[in-house]
Amino acid sequence: MTTLIRLLQLADSGFPTGGYAFSHGLEGLHAMGLMTNESDVSDFARTHLEETLARQDLPAGYHAHRLAEVNDLPALIDLDRLLSALKPVPAFRNASTRIGRQTLESALPLYPSPFAHAFLEAVRRGESPGHHAVAFAVATFAAGIDAVSAVSAFGSSSLNGYVAAGVRLGIIGQGAAQRIIATLEPVLVDALATAATLDIQDLGGYTPLIDIAGMRQPSLAARMFAS
């Protein structure tokens, strides 16, 4: 029960990570006229689930948690650096590292761990970028949470974040947001299952339209989000 309570705390949208500042490409697509209704936002979230999460962040989370369990900091740093290479859009890469670092800074005073603190120091020194998926895995390891629960919570929290951006942009309402989350539950389950089968060398993902929107978004005349 204790670990469940800790997991709910770390995955809650109120936990101070700054994740609310990022739309993960949705604002850019909205500015391009491609996000106008519930169906569009659902397709956007589905794409992230099937590509960004299933093939990149979720498997990275599984592997990061495993590496924390065996106290392999060099391999964890290599994995973290790989995620930087797999996130070619600066806005998305920076969002991931900003949220990740803040996750570590906020979580580790609550749940101290020598390994987790060693990783945070590597991030502070610039030796490791501190991507969100890796940082969340390390933070949950420090809190005594198992890998499957941690990665599942990361996936659910990410889905909620994609949809919440649509609400903040005024594309959908709260009811539509909850319909999307419920409808995409099987997609999230499949993404978690796929991620559990991938080796580190299999990490990837293909989101060309979202990437284009992410590269255009910083130049918008007026914007609500940092990505």
pLDDT tens-digit readout, 32-66:
999 999 999 999 999 999 999 999 999 999 999 99
3-class DSSP state of 17: coil
Q: Which residue has the higher pLDDT, 159 or 1?
A: 159
16 belongs to a structural domain:
no
pTM tops 0.75, yes or no: yes
- 5 Cα distance to chain centroid: 20
- Number of structural domains found in the chain: 1
pLDDT of residue 225: 85
Q: Which residue has the higher pLDDT, 39 or 225?
A: 39
62 belongs to a structural domain:
yes
Mean pLDDT of the chain: 96
123 belongs to a structural domain:
yes
Kind and range of the H or E element at 197? Answer: none
Residue 106: C-alpha distances to residues 22, 51, 123, 187 (Å): 18, 28, 14, 30
151 belongs to a structural domain:
yes
pLDDT of residue 221: 73
8 belongs to a structural domain:
no
**Nearest residue to 210 via CA among 20, 38, 44, 21:** 44
3-class DSSP state of 95: helix
Residue 68: C-alpha distances to residues 76, 81, 84, 119, 223 (Å): 8, 16, 19, 9, 38
Kind and range of the H or E element at 48? Answer: none
pLDDT tens-digit readout, 24-40:
999 999 999 999 999 99
pLDDT of residue 220: 80
177 belongs to a structural domain:
yes
Residues 210 and 47: beta-carbon distance below 8 Å:
yes
92 belongs to a structural domain:
yes
Amino acid identity of residue 130, one-letter, is G
170 belongs to a structural domain:
yes
Question: Which CATH number does the domain housing residue 49 bear?
Answer: 1.10.4190.10
What are the backbone angles phi and psi of residue 118, rounded to the nearest 5°?
A: -65, -40
pLDDT tens-digit readout, 134-185:
999 999 999 999 999 999 999 999 999 999 999 999 999 999 999 999 999 9
Residues 37 and 177: beta-carbon distance below 8 Å:
no
Give the C-alpha separation, 39 to 117, whole Å. Answer: 42
pLDDT of residue 92: 96
Instruction: Tell me which residue range forms the domain holding 151.
Output: 22-219
